[in-house]
Amino acid sequence: MAEQVSIHGQWSSRLAFILAATGSAVGLGNIWKFPYIAGENGGGAFVLIYLGCIILIGIPIMMAETMIGRHARLNPVNAMKKLALESGARSSWKYLGLMGVVAGFLILSYYSVIAGWAMAYVVRTGAGIFEGATADGVASIFKGLISDPERLMGWHTLFMLITMLVVARGVKGGLEKAVRFLMPTLFVLLFVLVGYAMNTDSFDKGLMFLFNPDFSKINGAGVLTAMGHAFFTLSLGMGAIMVYGSYLPNNVSIAKTTFAIAAADTLVALLAGAAIFPIVFANGLEPGAGPGLIFQTLPIAFGQMPGGALFGTLFFVLLVFAAISSSISLIEPAVAWIMERFSISRGMASFWCGLVTWFIGLGTIASFNIGEEVKFFGLTFFDLLDYLTANIMLPLGGLLIALFAGWIMLADKSREALEMKEGFVFMAWRFLVRFIAPLAVFVVFLKAIKVL
């Protein structure tokens, strides 16, 4: 029987899928968020717990999402409906796929605005605007950027145009070509920055902070943070891995490929830490500086150190590349669904998805300036979107995917879809996806909605 292929196309190789899925996973979360949450939670102990969570939670759910996508060869909505009916379950499981599509769509609407900040900082750092700047000066530059809605809209528009042009070109002509350039370049930039950090007097101190575990600095909240980040960093629960899985050839091992993606994603996070913490310590800055570490703390360091304009520019270029590789995966599930639902071309689907996403993003822009006083349940528009997606939609989606793969799909059907033999590896995956991963994600979900 001929191999079933998605109507949208197929990755040319296993490497192409690994690069694409790693690009989806590697984003602002690895380079912007991971260093500061590791800093806030004591470094090495947090990293060890995070790695354990990747293995026990992230990889099993990622395998499940990839399996569902490849087996169905459809967008997340139709994929969940098809497999539910095959398993004798209700077709209403399609709403799980729809929730993932909507989550990715909403995330991109504000992700694009934050990515625009990184693009603006490429220009500012390259122009040497941070040279000799004080903490107050850097804070003023950042405040000036986010308080200007027209400037933010310009960067947001540019980033969305780049994203939609890539997506409109299709699986091989757009997505695959983009990640084949972006991901190797991203790793080269990271290694260059790590090489620079090695020449600071604080490189050993940075590595000790990152890899020497001190469990006295970890608490329950830190463990939950590690669990949550392990889940979110792999782009789980938003349909991206499912739709990328639908483009995966049949002769590729889902298990081996998922391990490779998780390893690459984790390597990027650790390299980012190895590049950032020595610079932080060398300049007497605070590793637990929080979300402002990238946009308000590091520019101080870049402004003081030799070659700071060059390496600072490289750092923000790296951030933009990571953002683009993630943004194309955030919108691809929506584009695939609209193409199948309304039988329109990829170009038209990309245009409409991009336009609506751009429009929603205007709410995020306004929440930092002219609309900062407008609150929904006490939250700005940006905070509301962030809370709904990160704290409710993604963990709920991941929980239901694990339950569907572990309890709704028959064991034989899962094993056939994963192309695995009956044995220890399959039994271990099934145990993790049925019991450990759902329980862990459920705890993260309860913590996120303030029940715990």
pLDDT, one tens digit for every residue, the chain (452 residues): 346 778 898 999 999 999 999 999 888 778 878 888 888 888 899 999 999 999 999 999 999 999 999 999 999 999 999 999 999 999 999 999 999 999 999 999 999 999 999 999 999 999 999 998 888 899 899 999 999 999 999 999 999 999 999 999 999 999 999 999 999 999 998 999 899 889 888 999 999 988 888 888 888 888 888 888 888 888 899 999 999 999 999 989 999 999 999 999 999 999 988 988 888 888 887 777 666 778 887 898 888 888 889 989 998 998 999 999 999 999 999 999 999 999 999 999 999 999 999 999 999 999 999 999 999 989 999 999 988 998 889 889 999 999 999 999 999 999 999 989 888 999 999 999 999 999 999 988 888 777 65
Tallying the residues shown for the chain, one arrives at 452
Count of other CB atoms within 10 angstroms of residue 188 = 12
> Residue 376 — φ and ψ, nearest 5°?
-120, 115
Return the amino acid letter for 257.
T
Identify the sign of the CA torsion 43, 193, 111, 405.
negative
CA angle 285, 269, 177 (to 5 degrees): 130
Identify the sign of the CA torsion 366, 370, 372, 374.
negative
CA angle 172, 398, 252 (to 5 degrees): 40
DSSP assignment of 199-253, as one string?
Answer: TSTTHHHHHHHHHS--GGG--HHHHHHHHHHHHHHTTTTSSHHHHHHTTS-TTS-
Q: Bridge-partner residues for 376, per DSSP?
A: 379
Check: CB of residue 96 under 8 Å from CB of residue 404. yes
The per-residue pLDDT for 135 is 83
443 burial type by CB count under 10 A (0-12 exposed, 13-18 middle, 19+ buried): middle
Separation of alpha carbons 32 and 50, rounded Å = 16
Task: Take residue 379 and report the two structure tokens written for it.
Answer: 């939250």
Q: Bridge-partner residues for 379, per DSSP?
A: 376
Return the amino acid letter for 425.
V
Which residue shows structure tokens 């007097």?
201
Task: Take residue 72 and report the two structure tokens written for it.
Answer: 């169905």
- CA dist 340 → 201, 333, 344 (Å): 56, 11, 8
Q: Is 252 helix (H, G, I), strand (E, B) or coil?
A: coil
DSSP assignment of 96-110, as one string?
Answer: HHHHHHHHHHHHHHH
Task: Take residue 420 and report the two structure tokens written for it.
Answer: 């695995």
DSSP secondary structure code for residue 236 in this structure: T
Identify the sign of the CA torsion 98, 102, 107, 112.
positive
Task: Take residue 4 and report the two structure tokens written for it.
Answer: 């079933």
Which residue shows structure tokens 């991971």?
34
> Residue 379 — φ and ψ, nearest 5°?
-120, 145
Count of other CB atoms within 10 angstroms of residue 389 = 25
The per-residue pLDDT for 335 is 96
Smallest Cα–Cα separation from 246: which of 1, 3, 5?
5
Q: Which domains does the chain have, with CATH numbers?
A: 14-448 (1.10.4160)
- Measured N-to-C along each axis, helices 254-282 and 203-211 cross at an angle, to the nearest 10 degrees, of 130
Check: CB of residue 206 under 8 Å from CB of residue 280. yes
R_g (Cα) of the chain, nearest Å: 21
Q: Where are the alpha helices (DSSP H) in 343-380?
A: 346-367
Name, in order, each residue with C-beta under 8 angstroms of 24's C-beta and a sequence gap of 6 or more. Answer: 235, 240, 241, 244, 325, 326, 328, 329, 330
Task: Take residue 139 and report the two structure tokens written for it.
Answer: 């804070």
The per-residue pLDDT for 291 is 65
Which residue shows structure tokens 């402002």?
292
Task: Take residue 217 and report the two structure tokens written for it.
Answer: 């600095």
The region that residue 125 occupies, defined by phi over 0 for left and psi between -120 and 50 for alpha, beta otherwise, is: alpha
Name, in order, each residue with C-beta under 8 angstroms of 426's C-beta and a sequence gap of 6 or more. Answer: 415, 418, 420
Check: CB of residue 410 under 8 Å from CB of residue 200. no
DSSP secondary structure code for residue 42 in this structure: T
